[in-house]
Amino acid sequence: MKTLYDYTYDQLGELMLSIGEKKYRGQQLFEWLYRKRVTTFDDMSDISLKIKTWLHENVQLSPITLKTRQVAADGTVKYLFAMEDGALCETVLMHYSYGKSLCVSSQIGCNMGCTFCASGLLKKTRNLSSGEMVAQVLYVQQELDKEQERVSHVVVMGTGEPFDNYDNVLNFLYTINHDRGLAIGARHLTVSTCGLVDGIRKFAHEPIQVNLAISLHAPNDELRSKLMPINQAHPLDKLMEAMNYYMSKSNRRITYEYILLQGVNDSDAHARQLADLIRGQNAYVNLIPYNPVDEHGFRKVGVKEALRFYDQLHKAGVKCTLRQEHGADIDAACGQLRAKHERKR
């Protein structure tokens, strides 16, 4: 059964029109769902019995149920949710000084095949609907409501490639951004892609000012094609062209994610190549400590080596940050918890 969360603000209005109701009923529904955050149709006190009956017969509310919930020493919470068809997806809540950031999955499994990533251990079986993504945020927000806290940031960096599920991801972003609902600011939303250039070009024209992050992880084609098969289809010159296009249209600063893998992409020469590759762009590099995945055999670099790489980039004029590690003790690397769970089944 379709979930009401699959409908954007505008679509809820159209839905109400289509069943012979006034459009503004859709706006009321939206506020019940995302501002008052009710868990049953019956709690929607100013909605008529006729509409409620229609809702009961035709749509549902949350399409997800909690399977497991793990809390790390640093407070990071990892949720494993089951969809209606039994498919499992992961969501991670991280606590920062600036707020609470939720990492949302966009697909069941992933087909991009990055060699270091746990998500790709399980191939994509399907896309998540926008409602299934909204439900991840709403579930955690309802939990935080008890402490008067809120999900302030959302990153689409869980399992899946968001631009391989473009329309659902965009509807999801529009829904959680809408000021009549959860109102998570566009600048607090980030989509991360492994580099699907058509998606990047399309994204440049979206009227919503969401941040874009690119999983780069290597500064030359030879290495990047080894680590990330997508690079064979969309090599670095095509990716950089798309990024320049995106920046010229959107005027927004972009983030490059770069996991430091010991002895693989962490030399001084790699740092210089990286600086040359993105010189002149309004971009910064986020250096990510690798979260080791048993099956893959890559190792993370030590703090000293990470700082050295950081310094090299800095000297070459690149703005960069070293990301803090979160929840390493609870399988928080994308797809790890789910992969473990599926093996047990």
Chain residues binding ligand SAH by CB under 6 A are 112, 114, 116-118, 157, 161, 192-194, 215, 257, 259, 288, 290-291, 293, 333-334
HSE-CB at 278 with a 13 A cutoff on CA atoms is 31
Residue 285 backbone dihedrals phi, psi, to 5 degrees: -105, 130
To ligand SAH, the closest distance from the beta carbon of 55 in angstroms equals 34
To ligand SAH, the closest distance from the beta carbon of 282 in angstroms equals 19
To ligand SAH, the closest distance from the beta carbon of 61 in angstroms equals 27
To ligand SAH, the closest distance from the beta carbon of 88 in angstroms equals 16
Positive/negative CA dihedral, 27, 129, 90, 344: positive
Q: Catalytic residue among 89, 103, 320, 334, which?
A: 334
Strand, helix or coil for residue 320: strand
Strand, helix or coil for residue 299: coil
* Comparison of 118 and 278: residue with beta carbon closer to ligand SAH: 118
Q: Is 43 exposed, middle or buried (0-12, 13-18, 19+ CB in 10 A)?
A: exposed
* Comparison of 3 and 106: residue with beta carbon closer to ligand SAH: 106
Task: State yes or no: is 334 an active-site residue.
Answer: yes
Helix, strand, coil share (%) of the chain residues, nearest 5 = 40, 20, 40
* Comparison of 29 and 92: residue with beta carbon closer to ligand SAH: 92
Element (H, E) at 71: strand 65-71
Positive/negative CA dihedral, 279, 333, 163, 172: negative
Q: Catalytic residue among 21, 90, 132, 257, which?
A: 90
Q: Which residues have a catalytic role annotated?
A: 90, 334
